[in-house]
Structures are given as structure tokens and as C-alpha cells.
Copies of this chain bind each other. A is one copy, B any other.
Amino acid sequence: MKITALAGGVGAARFLTGLARIVKPEDLTVIINTGDDINLFGLHISPDIDIVTYTLAGIVDEAKGWGIKDDTFHALTTLKTLGVDTWFNLGDRDLATHIYRTNRLRQGATLTEVTDEIRIKLGLKTCLLPMSNDHFETKIKTPQGTMHFEEYFVKHQCKPQFLAAEFDGQATAKPAPGVLDALSDADLVIVCPSNPVVSVGTILSIAGVRDALLRTKARVVAVSPIVAGATIKGPADKMLNGLGIEVSAFGVAQFYADFLDAIVIDSRDAAEQTRIAKLGLAVKVTNTVMKTFDDKVALATAVLQA
């Protein structure tokens, strides 16, 4: 069974480690959001690609959900000494990835190629695809101004009021090679428990992606990132609310309803089952909060059953 997953960062990565345990890693393709990509100190940083790669490779800093475990921050501290605004945390080991990627991109490699090179070096068999190799930048409109998603998320810790998400480059960004085929050829498409607006929404905004999801013969199953009216991590609840979407598993189901066949929701949201079913979707109720590795495997199993 060929599976394609749409993924953002931490939530998706955690879910995918469970999934990778119960399916053949080589049967799994992950399409990853690149809207958070940012250039800092001249380095091309792909936060979501790195989180998914590091997590699947078992080298992620589990507590943080990003970066490499046991990393040091000596380069960043020194950059600060040199007067650089170092609001984005980059460990020394992590920096190697960004140095490598930036150098390969400057040499003319595509983000797809670089992502694949890193995946292979880290011994992963799962296919990791950036959603696009073209410029795409998620910006958050707030009363304090419009800022890059990572500035909103990391520098300002999601404190400014969310007014809207803007996708710079969306009109011209093409899906990366393999993205549309991975959706068309899959037996199962999984929308990971990621931010529907700025993680999955960005992927859905790429020309051809939504259409491929509507046409695919694959069953399309989402995992709701909203549990009991809130997110486990990140600003998805604030953003859905800001967009006038109900902050609930039902709201998520409705957001994806046009291409979705089933949704996995948390036991705490079991009461929403009937409303979601009325959207014409199958609903699977289970524990979706992944605290342990067993939680991740159990959730992945539930998704395969949905």
C-alpha cells in the first residue's frame, strides 16, 4: 500500500514516526510544507523539512520537537557577539544542515535534490518531498505589521493578534517534482495533525495539489490537530479562529471536507462525530495526543483503519 502524507512540523513528524513503524518506510512519501522556509544569516533554513527529517532519523531534540538532540549553540552565541539578531535558534549540528543546503542550492541543486541527499545520508528510506522548489513565504498579518511566519511564531511567540495568513509566491510556485504523482498514485493520503492554515493550507494552495486530492483514487484521511477546542502545540487554534472557522475537530473536517473521506478525532471530541458524519465523512474516534511512542503507533494504526 502506497501512502502519501501532507506534513508540517512537529505534530506531523511525531505522527510519522509511528506510521513509519507499521508501514514499509519505502512505501511512504511525505510532502512537506516549505512556507516556513527562511533565509537567516544568508543560510536557507527549511524548518519543517528538517523537523520531519531529524525526527524520522531519530536525531531530533525530542523535548523541543526541533533541532538535533544534545546540540550546542556556540556559533549562534558568537554570531550574537558579532551583532547579529539571533532570535531564531540554530544549534551547531543543525547549522551543518543549513550550510550544506545553502551551498548545494547555490551550486544549482533543487530543494528536492538537497532534501533527498540529506535523507539518504541520514539513512532514511521514506521519500521526503518539499511541496515546492519555488519561492513561497508564509507571512502573518497582525496589527503590528506583516511578518514572516517564523518571526510571528518564534520571535513574537504568536502573541500579536492573527489577522490573516498571506502566501508570498503562491501564485507562481509550482509543485515540486513528484508531489502531484505522489497524490495521484497513492492508495492512502494522510493529512497529518498539522496546522490547517499555515502547514497543510500552504501545500493545498500550490497549483494542482487540491485538484490532485479531489481526483485521487486514494482514500484521504486527516488527523485533527484540534483536540478539545485547542491545539497541542502552535497557533492553529488562533488562526482558525481568526479566519472565522470553528476551532474544533468539526471545523477541521469542514475545512478539508471537499477532498476528505475520513477524519480521525480525539476521544474528547467524540460528541462531534454526528455533526462530522453529516459532512459525508467517516469518523474514527481515538486518542490523538501523542505522548509516548506507543501513542504514535496507535494513532497511525487508527488512521490506517479509518
CB within 8 Å of B: which residues of A?
41-43, 68, 71-72, 74-79, 81-84, 91-97, 99-100, 102-103, 106-107, 117-118, 121-122
B76, B78, B96, B106: the one contacting A97 at CB < 8 Å is B78
CA distance A100 to B95 in the complex (A): 13
Would B43 and A83 count as touching, CB distance under 8 A?
A: no
Would B102 and A42 count as touching, CB distance under 8 A?
A: yes
CA distance A78 to B59 in the complex (A): 12
Would A92 and B72 count as touching, CB distance under 8 A?
A: yes
Would A78 and B93 count as touching, CB distance under 8 A?
A: yes
CA distance A99 to B102 in the complex (A): 11
CA distance A74 to B122 in the complex (A): 16
B75, B83, B97: the one contacting A95 at CB < 8 Å is B75
Would A75 and B92 count as touching, CB distance under 8 A?
A: yes
Would A79 and B92 count as touching, CB distance under 8 A?
A: no
CA distance A84 to B118 in the complex (A): 11
Would A96 and B78 count as touching, CB distance under 8 A?
A: yes
Would A74 and B92 count as touching, CB distance under 8 A?
A: yes
CA distance A68 to B121 in the complex (A): 29
CA distance A155 to B103 in the complex (A): 21
Would B121 and A93 count as touching, CB distance under 8 A?
A: no
